[in-house]
Amino acid sequence: MHDFKFKNGELCCEQVKVSDVAAQVGTPFYLYSHHTLVDHFTKIEQAFAPVRPLICFAMKANDNLAVLKTMANLGAGFDVVSGGELKKALRINADPAKIVFASVGKTEEEIVAAIQAGILLFNVESLPELEEIHRIAQQLNRRPQVALRINPDVKALTHTKITTGTLKNKFGIDMRTARKILKSSARYPHIQLSGLHVHIGSQITTRAPFIKALTRVLEFLEVLRQDGIRLEYLDIGGGMGIIYKDEQPQTAKDLAGAILPYLQKTGLKIIMEPGRFIVGNAGILVSRVLYLKDNGFKKFLIVDAGMNDLIRPALYDAYHEIVPVVVTPRRKVKMDIVGPICESGDFFAKDRLFPVLKKGDLVAVMSAGAYGYVMASNYNVRGRSPEIMVKGSAFEITKQRETFEDLMRTETLPTFLAG
């Protein structure tokens, strides 16, 4: 599952002691395992080999350059949702012909940049967006490929804030409208309507929602064939869940066994957009204990990482396993594990049975590789933590810790207040 293991009572990432990294870079910090990234990508590639999909890593999960380069070296493409993500993908020399661009709110500047870069596909979320891409493509004298993101109205049985496949959500185009668009493709001579895209949510641990969505996609494709419409691509998005606590998500092999017959039946080139599945358990957040507080009613273990470093518990009530980096015999008591931010929502665990640690001890928040650093902020004027990657017995800082000077670099006083 991942390469964070205890050896002789100490948590290690591959062959590196986490405590050795902490001694060199300080805390808090994010730590990524190169081997885990490779292993998880390879599992998807092998499981879905019969359809030879283009696997586009979902950059919104983790956009660290070292992570991206690892993916590119494996032959991955990239699923981007902003102009910034596109630029980062190109920074590591990603093949533009393996980049797909989603997002419900693409700006003119982003559309221009993507067309000029020569990306594979725009995943279009609405008719107004389609018309905007067509207008810009005409001005640039280009003819980009487009896939319509259809909304199959399938509930993904996941957290409400990360479900995307129902008509109550902002994502995608209802099938009736999508059919009208495809039947009127002659109205858009400056774009190629080349495929369909469907993504129903994130952290989906059962196969049923995928099967239900693909069943509706197959039915829709049959309607389109009767209309005389031929497409080239089907982008099935991402959404494969991982283990945070006691989930029992399907493996890549299990999911492939369930949905490969549907994918093969489409006869289309398949694109996948995994993110969390690849990087979620490939990263941890390491923090240091500041205090153990007992107010007579409740105990609080206060650490130096906060919700600005990892917001998932505060935002989603998400569970993350937390472990001491060095294991010694200690009694366990029920406590909240919290950070220093001036918010009651600044917590990593509530009422967790946890060893009684002392000031200076290290803890690791597990399964933090996805939606961790990418959602970090500078709240309370806190610099974002560094990111480090381990490969075998070596580790390197891939993103430096932000300093106060970094935070102030773009901030100035207006002239009418100066002096």
Q: Which residues pair with 354 in a beta bridge?
A: 333
- What sign does the dihedral 360-31-205-160 (CA atoms) show? positive
- What sign does the dihedral 295-286-372-42 (CA atoms) show? negative
Measured CA distances, 93 to 87, 251, 305 (Å): 10, 31, 33
* Among candidate residues 352, 343, 327, 336, the one with its CA nearest the CA of residue 379: 343
DSSP strands (E only) in 102-143? 121-124
Q: Respond yes or no: is residue 342 known to be catalytic.
A: yes
In degrees, rounded to 5, the angle at the alpha carbon of residue 41 between the alpha carbons of residues 38 and 213 is 165
Burial of 268 (0-12, 13-18, 19+ CB in 10 A): buried
- Which residues contact residue 21 at a Cβ distance below 8 angstroms, ignoring those fewer than 6 apart? 13, 29, 31, 286, 388, 390, 395
As given in the structure block, the two tokens for residue 66 are 């070292």
Over the range 374-407, which residues count as b (16 or more CB within 10 Å of their CB) and which as e? eebeeeeebbbbbbbbbbeeebeebbebbeeeee
Residue 355: strand, helix, or coil: strand
Q: How far apart are CA 242 and CA 394, in angstroms?
A: 27
Which residues are marked as active site? 342
